[in-house]
Structure 1
Amino acid sequence: MFAICGRAPLLLASRAASRTLAPTPALSRNILRLLPRTQPSIRYYARPPRSTRAHKSNKPSPPPTPPSVAAESNITQPATGDRLIDRVWAAGQLSQHDTPPAMSSAQRLLRPTLFTLLVVGGSLIYAYNWTAPAPSERLFPTVPLAFSTVATIMALNVGVFVAWRIPLPFTWRILNRYFVSVPAIPHAASMLGCAFSHQSFSHLGLNMVVLYCFGTNLCEQIGAGPFIGLYLSGGVLSSLASLAYNVVRQRFNVASLGASGAIATLVGIYAVVNPDAELYVIFLPFIMFKAKVLVTLLAMVETLGIVRGWTIVDHVAHLSGLGWGVVSGYALLAEYKRRLERKRKELEEKKWLGWW
């Protein structure tokens, strides 16, 4: 699009802040064709050079070529002088719209909402029923389960980042459709895919540092299954909240991507499970916050950003991720206490039966 609201981590080993960036071809040229008329080679989908267009004649015109075929032809048989990157952008373009399609807010949000509910429901069911695998069932039994879980999520984020940096027609269409949240033309699956996309190397690097710092400790405490389920549910819920906010406010000149919503969920859970844990600012080890104080400050900053209309970061995604994390943290504690009580009763029953 024209402004990318990416999500990237703050200074703290906690979560990511996103930025509103200037239009970049890497993530914007193929979503809406809102480009100056001085760039005809990109304005139209795989538009052939003017010199090669057929002149009007009385002969019947051949059947139109499907856009996908025309796009591939433009890649394999490029016009002289065109850059390869321009041809790839043209081939990956998804829309012929000059302006956002005429749709109501409900129409834009219906499918993303249903997809989000499906992912959240599946994630919570998986988290509740997960049991730790035996070492013999694991691919790397000597590697700690918490580390391998977090490392896998980090590898997925890096893989998507590399795919953005290597523009190929096939992957380019998939990335533009399912790995960036666009209020003007929303796709349901982008609620999850955009949580694995990053705008720049610094955006990716900071997010991954925060994910590693909080993720490994939290995963060790709550288990890999609940960790994965809450990470995914936090990612889609924060993406949906951001999309709904932009759609309702008719902000069709932005797009959102980044893992910070999911990471904010982990930070919220961590603060509830470990409220008195001492957290230090990266590169400023003399500054310390308790986890509960840090989350409170972050929530206040995000709320202020929404009220004041700050556009540097995606405050809605961050705040919704934190909120879901806090709610999930209290739910985890309640479930933990319930299971402890059930185990205590089972031990008492065994003791009583053994006495008889």
Structure 2
Amino acid sequence: MNDDELRNAVPIVIGILERRGADFSTAEDAVQDALIEAFRTWPVNEPRDMQGWLITVAWRKFLDRVRAESSRSAREEHSFALTTDAATTSADDTVDLYFLCAHPDLSPASAVALTLRAVGGLTTRQIAEAYLVPEATMAQRISRAKRTLAGRRLNRPGNISAVLTVLYLVFNEGYSGDVDLAAEAIRLTRVLAASIDHPEVSGLLALMLIHHARREARFSADGGLITLGEQDRSRWDSHLIAEGIGILQTALAREELDEFQVQAAIAALHADAQRVEDTDWPQIVEWYDELLRLHDSPIASLNRAVAIGEADGPAAGLAELRRLDDSLPRYFAVEAHLRERAGDDDVAAKLYAKAAAKASNLAERDHLVRQAARLNSEH
């Protein structure tokens, strides 16, 4: 069974059911029921036409739900008269569903959950396991999201930036449970890129591919975090990097710059360096300047201070850092790095320990503790 082919069909099938008269919530539930039946029966009896099978079974599940709720024969008779030809669908069905699931009335968490289920074709159980919450909790989140969207048609009520933000949130969750959310986010972004010609979509896809290419080098065998400068670059996936850079170059040629393209350009400059010493830091600083012109982000300013410290020396980086709020995430980790580069190891060790106490996850905390211990052991 080709899981990607099956999941790619989900938004198309939901669109078909909607055109036949189903409301979004019931259509999505019916397709989920059909998916569960597919996972149960296809391993031993896979149909030749996966999408056709999914349409037929999802429609039957929808009718079962309608009959269970009330006697709505007139609507059913009208719907049966509509075509069942999947060829009448278009990429608009998929694109519209992306927009609906990123509706501005939904919270980010609800938009992510609904996108993974309605567009991604994941089950509620899979999504719950990926986000480490009980299945009942995730089911309630999805139900609330669908109630929020009740009565709305697939008329693109959101915007492309909202859709891409949702996909990037999924990508940044990485891997958990039996679902690789980073890979799933890339798959969904590829589907969107194939359905809509938009430079922002291309920028996000390029960024994801280049980041994902470094995945195998990010952690040691015992799970320890390995920073970009310390990674074994021979473990980077050169094919993903080449694909990402190619997509980025095409997007940049359109001269419709956006934040994701700029972030991808920065990632590409890191990926293009065979050794950390070969990194083109001055150009990275220029791209951070561009990013800040597009969006005045404190995190981008923090990363720019690091880049300036590499391009112009640690003193210049520390001068930039002092202009920022020290409550920013990773502020003290950046200061520790720059202090160490300046040769002030005693202060750097204390700052690494201070940063470890404020770390947002266990891997980062352990890495910072090791950095502090390393400097302390050298003196």
| Higher relative contact order structure (alpha carbons within 8 Å, sequence separation ≥ 6) | 1
Whichever structure has more helix as a proportion of its residues is 2
Whichever structure has more strand as a proportion of its residues is 1
**What TM-score do you get using the length of structure 2 for normalisation?**
0.28
**What TM-score do you get using the length of structure 1 for normalisation?**
0.29
